[in-house]
Amino acid sequence: MNAQDNALLTAVGPGSAMGALMREYWIPACLASELEPGGAPMRLMLLGEKLVAFRTPEGTVGVMDHACPHRCASLFYGRNEPGGLRCVYHGWKYAPDGQCLEQPNVPPEHSFAPRLKAQAYPCVERNGVVWTYMGGREVPPPLTGIEATLLPEGDVRLSCSLRRCNYLQVLEGEIDTSHFGFLHGGSVAEADLDPQDLNSSSLRDRAPRYHVAETRAGSMYASYRALAGDEVYYRVAHFMLPFYTQFPDGNFEGNIVLDAAVPMDDEHTMIFTWMARSRQAGVRRLKDGSPIPGLERDEDYLPNGAGWFDRWRTVADADNDYLIDRDAQRTRSYTGLTGVQLQDQAVVESMGPISDRTKEHLAVSDHMIVVTRRMMLRALRAHGEGAPAPGVDDLAVFQQARSGAFVADAAQDWRDAYADRIAGAQNPTGVLHFDKEFLQ
């Protein structure tokens, strides 16, 4: 990749090509639980814009520019009152949609409140997440129909985690399947694996082959490993525009999962994760029942703060070398880092705030990453020439993607095997289906 294309893919702020494309879609802004009725406004950085999010005492959510349009004082210090947010500098008050309601320091005959609106973005709440639309359409497009986002709040585990790096590093880590056999399971010997565990195949053969295809929603891969008896073990995963991934760590039938690598700015990313509560993760234990070393627990978090990047921060971070245990690395754990999420975090942040992809030496194992980058670049250029954002008005495009592992006959085409698994998968939301046109 050349420097120009790398910059094109990674810049997300106002005026950037990728930022313009992302703004065509609804964006996960925060968890609904982060905003209390009548509570303090929350600093919210999205796509390089400094915003505030709040919930009025009546329960209405607002997301708007943090700078008061009067004299640019920050509305983070504002009073959350019935009907809207009041700037503490001169008392001007704004409804959640940005409409100025009052200018109390201005004589009534000189007030222009009805003609003044703060920059604000439409908001929708669904199943525990606040979404916002930052694009230019007067009428926003439909809210995403990806199946994990449709699960009722009681049926899904929601989480967030900050990454101090560009969104593309996070996203590409999610669609890189062969790293599982090293970063997460590199300490495991084949003799210690449970032969009855379907997903142990990902650790028996650490150099899978790949089928990769573009889809109407983005791109997908089916990594595969030959099994005995003319069968093939597949791990299927998806990238969906603008920043969604479905990871394959679990049996396909019930693996309803989703990650959103939401850019806060060019150098910070908030990961939103949806996982069906009924989902069973992939291989985590050895045949004696003990956990794979290094995967015993997940991350610990610091209390959320009030700064732009003070939400959902892990205790282990770059400043303390992610609490790496070198003795454990020598004796029992491949990395010396504990937990899947922390291991992923350490490597993607270690690439720097924005990875210099001109220094890479890609291999056949990076096929999915190459196809995804090329697809994204074409989508960016087409959008710059006036083409609509792919799938933005067609919810069905995003309802044909499911990730996970399964076994199929080696003689069956991988696309047909995928279609068969879609047809037989658990479908609690009722939206999952497959059309041949999905695969391009």
Listed by start position, the domains of the chain span 31-133, 147-438
- Tokens describing residue 199: 């997903």
348 exposure class (CB count in 10 Å sphere: 0-12, 13-18, 19+): buried
pLDDT of residue 280: 85
Measured distance CA(256)–CA(216) in Å, rounded: 20
- Tokens describing residue 77: 């210090």
pLDDT of residue 35: 98
The CA–CA distances, whole Å, from 432 to 159, 253, 390, 400 equal: 23, 11, 19, 6
Residue with token string 């085409």 = 413
Euclidean distance between the first and the last CA atom of the chain, given in angstroms as a whole number: 24
pLDDT of residue 272: 98
Q: How would you classify residue 230: left for phi > 0, otherwise alpha for psi between -120 and 50, otherwise beta?
A: left
Return per-residue pLDDT of the chain as tens, 440 residues. 999 999 999 999 999 999 999 999 999 999 999 999 999 999 999 999 999 999 999 999 999 999 999 999 999 999 999 999 999 999 999 999 999 999 999 999 999 999 999 999 999 999 999 999 999 999 999 999 999 999 999 999 999 999 999 999 999 999 999 999 899 988 998 889 888 888 888 888 999 999 999 999 999 999 999 998 899 999 999 999 999 999 999 999 999 999 999 999 999 999 999 999 999 888 888 888 888 888 877 779 999 999 999 999 999 999 999 999 999 999 999 999 999 999 999 999 999 999 999 999 999 999 999 999 999 999 999 999 999 999 999 999 999 999 999 999 999 999 999 999 999 999 999 999 999 899 97
Measured distance CA(170)–CA(175) in Å, rounded: 9
The CA–CA distances, whole Å, from 312 to 188, 199, 240, 302 equal: 31, 30, 24, 7
CB contact at 8 A, 100 and 92:
yes
- The helix-helix angle for 3-10 and 367-384 (nearest 10°) equals 70
Pairing of strands 244-246, 404-409: unpaired
Per-residue DSSP letters for 312-363?
Answer: S-BSS-GGGGGG--HHHHHHT-SSS--SHHHHHHHHHHHT-SS--GGG----
- Tokens describing residue 87: 């700037």
Q: How would you classify residue 322: left for phi > 0, otherwise alpha for psi between -120 and 50, otherwise beta?
A: left
Measured distance CA(395)–CA(412) in Å, rounded: 29
- Give domain 31-133's CATH architecture: 3-layer Sandwich (2.102)
Per-residue DSSP letters for 8-21?
Answer: HHH--STT-HHHHH
Measured distance CA(380)–CA(337) in Å, rounded: 37
pLDDT of residue 179: 93
- Identity of residue 225: R
Q: How crowded is residue 204: how many other Cβ atoms within 10 Å of its Cβ?
A: 14
Predicted TM-score of the model (pTM): 0.96
CA 410 to chain centre: 33
Per-residue DSSP letters for 146-213?
Answer: -HHHHS-GGGEEEEEEEESS-HHHHHHHHT--TTIIIIITTT--GGGS-TT-GGGHHHH-SS-EEEEE
Spatial CB neighbours of 140, under 8 Å, sequence gap ≥ 6: 26, 122, 133
- Tokens describing residue 153: 């709040």
The phi, psi pair for 164, rounded to 5°, reads -90, 65
pLDDT of residue 235: 95
Strand partners, 142: none
